[in-house]
Amino acid sequence: MNKLYLWGIIMGAVMLVATYFTLVISAGNSGKSISEILSGDIVNALAITGAVALILITIFVVIKYVRQMQTDTANGQLAHENWDGIGEYLNELPMGWSIIFLLTMVWGMWYFIIGYPVNAFSNIGEYNEDVVVHNAKFNEEYKSITGSRLVDMGESVFLAECKVCHGLKADGIDGKAANLNARIEARSVKYVVENGSNNHLLGFESPMPDRNGLFNNNTEALITDAEIDAVSAYVANGMTGAGSDVFAGACAVCHAEDGKGMESVAPNIAAFTPTLVTNVLNHGKKGAIGTMPKFKRLNDKQKEAVGAYITSLSK
pLDDT tens sequence across 112-160: 888 777 777 778 888 888 988 988 888 888 888 999 999 999 999 999 9
Same domain (yes/no): 154, 291: yes
Same domain (yes/no): 157, 297: yes
Number of CB atoms found within 10 A of residue 282's CB? 15
Same domain (yes/no): 64, 159: no
Same domain (yes/no): 60, 195: no
| 139 in a structural domain | no
Q: How many residues does the chain have?
A: 315
Same domain (yes/no): 210, 309: yes
* Residue 40: predicted pLDDT: 67
| 160 in a structural domain | yes
Domain boundary among 47, 73, 99: 73
Domain boundary among 29, 51, 73: 73
User: Over the range 224-233, which residues count as b (16 or more CB within 10 Å of their CB) and which as e?
Assistant: eeebbbbbbb
Number of domains in the chain: 2
| 255 in a structural domain | yes
Instruction: Tell if the pTM clears 0.75, that is, is over it.
Output: no
| 106 in a structural domain | no
* Residue 16: predicted pLDDT: 85
Same domain (yes/no): 58, 183: no
| Beta strands at 78-83 and 285-286: parallel, antiparallel or unpaired | unpaired
Q: What is the largest CA-CA distance in the chain?
A: 105
Provide the residue range defining the domain that includes 295. Answer: 148-313
* Residue 304: predicted pLDDT: 93
Q: How far is the C-alpha of 236 from the C-alpha of 218, rounded, in Å?
A: 23
Omega into 117 within 30° of 0, i.e. cis?
Answer: yes
* Residue 311: predicted pLDDT: 94
* Residue 219: predicted pLDDT: 46
Same domain (yes/no): 217, 302: yes
Domain boundary among 42, 73, 104: 73
Burial of residue 176 (CB within 10 Å: 0-12, 13-18, 19+) is: exposed
| 180 in a structural domain | yes
With a cut of 70, list the residues of the chain below it in pLDDT: 1, 37, 40-42, 213-221, 315
Same domain (yes/no): 251, 153: yes
